[in-house]
Amino acid sequence: VLREMQKSAKPIDRDSFTILECIGSGQFGTVNKGVVFLENQSSICAIKVTKMDSGDDILKEAGIMQSFTHANVVRAFGLCSDSGDIFLLLEFCDLGDAQHHLASLSQSDPVPMRIKIMILEQVACGMKYLDDMKIVHRDIAARNVLLQTPNSHNRPPRAKVSDLGLARELDEHSQYTKTSQSAQLPVRWMAPENIMDFKANQATDVWAFGITAWEILSNGMMPFESLKNKEVIVLLTNPNLNISTYLMKQDHWSDDIYRIILDCTAFEPDDRPSFDMLINDFTRIVRNLGRL
Ligand code: ADP
């Protein structure tokens, strides 16, 4: 499988890119800003660096991302392996991830509600695209939504789904893909059936999207902040859970937008909306607010 993935990722020569400063650290290594020279053009990029022996997920991520082209999914330029290191070159998102971006502005210059809803609309579009491609993301969260400065003033930032390290192809026959039990699991974003049986499919991505929507509307707050991971597991696997007690609505949120969060986090997977339905909801809400 790995060889397959490596084959599908475009190889990039080590001389074709330069690493600049470190901009983040992930589970498996660092993320740096860099410049890549391809086809007589130089572009700013983000470079994920991982050791060859822990590069499993990065190879899968590269393979998956390379085959996608969508405005709301981070694009991969290609992959380089050199002297024991693996470098994954990605489209650069200058504003970083939505969780840090919104949290850093929350006191000084909070992002207006309408812009946040337009960010969510874009995330839903990226997720629908992955869903159409039969890909389960499995780790959608505000930290994995990357933002780019808009082209013109007063437009929302361009939002892109990233970090497909955990993404898997959906098994058509079972409708579920198994989550490995050994990996560090994002329990605060996981649907009850995902926690109980390690089942992941579109409905578990929709649940995680609901949690992501809550994070974005709350300017990057941690979901279930007062609870430890173990307590979150107990809470989420209780069928009588009233999630609104934990993912609280803030006064200035409309009922419409809060309804989306509650619908996405319905205990029964079949009761959750599809990404198509979510896009329609966001489009309607944005229209009612007056598009920018
Ligand atoms: P990991 O998958 O190893 O956890 P991430 O993909 O979450 O790593 O990246 C860690 C951090 O690096 C992100 O939260 C973000 O701030 C930064 N980052 C990652 N990819 C990019 C990118 N394409 N453009 C800009 N910043 C990025």
DSSP 8-class letter at 249: P
Mean pLDDT computed over 49-73: 80
* Closest ligand 1 atom number to CA of residue 25: 10
Asked whether the predicted pLDDT for residue 166 surpasses 70, the reply is: no
Pocket of ligand 1 (CB under 6 A): 23-24, 26-28, 31, 46, 74, 90-93, 96-97, 143-144, 146, 162-163, 165
Q: In 3-state terms, what secondary structure has residue 90?
A: strand
- Ligand 1, atom nearest to 29 Cα: 3
Please state, rounded to an integer, the average pLDDT across all residues of the chain: 88
For the record, the structure tokens of 251 come out as: 């006064």
Q: Ligand 1 centroid vs 114 CA: distance in angstroms?
A: 25
Q: How confident is the model at residue 170 (pLDDT cuts 50, 70, 90)?
A: low
The Cα 101–Cα 106 span in angstroms is: 9
**Greater confidence, 261 or 7?**
261
pLDDT tens per residue, range 188-208 = 999 999 999 888 899 999 999
ipTM of the complex: 0.95
Q: Which residues pair with 78 in a beta bridge?
A: 89
Task: Categorize the per-residue pLDDT at 7 as very low, low, confident or very high, splitting at 50, 70 and 90.
Answer: low
- Residue 169 pLDDT class (50, 70, 90 cuts): low
Residue with more model confidence, 291 or 190: 190
Question: 175 or 82, which is more confident?
Answer: 82
What is the Cα–Cα distance from 201 to 168, expressed in whole angstroms?
Answer: 9
Q: Whose CA is nearest to atom 8 of ligand 1?
A: 26
Is 109 noted as a catalytic residue in this protein? Answer: no
Q: In the predicted model, what is the mean pLDDT of residues 48-65?
A: 76
- Edge-to-edge strand ranges of the sheet holding 145-148: 96-97, 145-148, 158-161
Q: How far apart are CA 45 and CA 135, in angstroms?
A: 24
Tell me how far apart the alpha carbons of residues 155 and 149 are, in angstroms, rounded to a whole number.
Answer: 9
Q: What is the pLDDT of residue 60?
A: 72
Measured in whole angstroms, the distance separating CA 70 from the mean position of its chain's CA atoms is 14
CA distances (Å), 262 to each of 73, 80, 116, 244, in order? Answer: 25, 42, 17, 7
Contact assessment for residue 99 and residue 123, using Cβ atoms and an 8 Å cutoff: no
Burial of 187 (0-12, 13-18, 19+ CB in 10 A): middle
Nearest CA to ligand 1 atom 9: 26
